[in-house]
Amino acid sequence: MAMGWAIGSVLAVVAGASLLAGVWSADRSERAGRTGRWGRVLVLRGYPLLIVVIGLGVLFVVPASVVEGEGGWSGSNIVSVLVAIVVTLLGAFALFVLGRNLAGHDPDAGRIAARLSGDEPSRLLLTRWLQRVRWRRWLGGFLGVLSALLLSVDGSGPNIVLSGFAGIMLGSLSAELHHWRRPDGGGARAADLTRRRLSDYTSPGEQWLLGAAAMGAVILAATDLAGTTAHTTDRGPGWPWAGTALGVVAGVVAMQWRIVTRRRPALPPELRRADDLARRLAVSRGMAQPGLALALALLAEASTRVGLGLVAAVCWLLAVGVWLGTRRLGLDKLLSAPPANAAPEPAGA
């Protein structure tokens, strides 16, 4: 038992130190304006690494519990000690990655922006947007999952996936809210008279899916309120979940319009194209896709509560599918795409 406490203490110290090191490292890289190979490896390999850590942790816990069951820690179980060391090192490595992410460090942002835009000011604009959005989404998702885990201690907490989607959506939302600040007063200002429309920045398919999700929410809420479906469990009615899904879709569309019409002074053509691209990404991958994933997950929850198991399963599958497509804003694949001038032109440009 004492050995268990010792290992726990060492793990806690290593975890704390790794987190601090990660934050410090990310901050240093940002200040230096460079991202090394290790930085990229650390973040890109972070999630698979966590799975490895969890797997090894299971391997470690099982034999350890067997040993404890047979009379406690003997200290002579070399395999367990070795596994503990490996797990500690890998855990520290994973937490180091976590620390870098918590610091908002996105080593891919520069490379992705370089492939999306030609000149330096445009790259800077896109890099800033990518770093801001991606780390807030990550943090939102992380906090969502963590909240669900903490609330689930007694086994009655919220759905972890749903909570994670909600966190991602809130993260995306918070990344766009700073534009609501009023511009500095005074002085001459210029603007382009070209009208910007939502259809310039989003695809009809995405908007159609959002509409379909809203329609599904209305139908589910109506049928539940009309009492035409059988409540399978005592988990409560489904209509509040369907209503929330409808609210999410409405909020997403309102925010999309906000992004399209938010302030844009007169800009040189290159910067205007980069701004169009950032808006297009924000409207589509920042708002529509995470909003759709969340709305579908809410509809799945509502369907479960009104006893439509098949509909719930389909909604869950669709929600996870949409989330997979937008997991890292869906931009990682662009790392292997032709650079800069081959980037698609936004329709509104």
Calpha distance 140→147 (Å, rounded): 10
Q: How far is the CB of 187 from other proteins (least distance, A)?
A: 7
Q: How far is the CB of 183 from other proteins (least distance, A)?
A: 4
Q: Is 121 near other proteins (CB under 8 A)? A: no
Calpha distance 297→315 (Å, rounded): 6
**Residue number, 171 or 348, with CB nearest to other proteins:** 348
Q: Is 196 near other proteins (CB under 8 A)? A: yes
Query: Which DSSP string do the residues of 224-245 spell out, in sequence order?
Result: HHHT-S---SSS--SHHHHHHH
Dihedral sign of CA atoms 105, 107, 108, 109 in order? positive
Taking only Cα atoms into account, the Rg of the chain, rounded to an integer number of angstroms, comes to 24
Calpha distance 234→154 (Å, rounded): 17
Q: Are 187 and 333 in contact (CB under 8 A)?
A: no
Calpha distance 249→296 (Å, rounded): 10
Size of the site for other proteins (CB under 8 A): 24
Closest by CA to 325, choosing from 148, 205, 146, is: 205
Instruction: List the one residue from 9, 38, 149, 192 that touches other proteins (CB under 8 A).
Output: 192
**Residue number, 187 or 205, with CB nearest to other proteins:** 187
**Residue number, 155 or 269, with CB nearest to other proteins:** 269
DSSP 8-state assignment for residue 187: S
Q: How far is the CB of 264 from other proteins (least distance, A)?
A: 5
**Residue number, 235 or 262, with CB nearest to other proteins:** 262
Q: Is 262 near other proteins (CB under 8 A)? A: yes
Dihedral sign of CA atoms 148, 40, 343, 325 in order? negative
Q: How far is the CB of 156 from other proteins (least distance, A)?
A: 45
Instruction: List the one residue from 9, 74, 199, 261 that touches other proteins (CB under 8 A).
Output: 261
**Residue number, 4 or 265, with CB nearest to other proteins:** 265
Distance in angstroms between the alpha carbons of the first and the last residue of the chain: 66
**Residue number, 246 or 267, with CB nearest to other proteins:** 267
Per CB under 8 A, which of residues 162..191 are in contact with other proteins? 182-191
Q: How far is the CB of 150 from other proteins (least distance, A)?
A: 40
Calpha distance 318→301 (Å, rounded): 13
Q: Binding segment for other proteins among 35-43, 230-238, 245-253, 259-267 (CB under 8 A)?
A: 259-267
Q: How far is the CB of 189 from other proteins (least distance, A)?
A: 5
**Residue number, 150 or 188, with CB nearest to other proteins:** 188
For residue 211, is it left (φ>0), alpha (ψ between -120 and 50) or beta?
alpha
Q: Is 267 near other proteins (CB under 8 A)? A: yes
**Residue number, 181 or 333, with CB nearest to other proteins:** 181
Calpha distance 104→135 (Å, rounded): 5
Q: Are 284 and 206 in contact (CB under 8 A)?
A: yes
Pull the structure tokens for residue 19.
């987190």
Instruction: List the one residue from 266, 313, 337, 347 that touches other proteins (CB under 8 A).
Output: 266
Calpha distance 88→158 (Å, rounded): 31
Q: Binding segment for other proteins among 55-63, 71-79, 258-266, 317-325 (CB under 8 A)?
A: 258-266
User: Which residues of this chain interact with other proteins, rule CB under 8 A?
Assistant: 182-196, 260-268
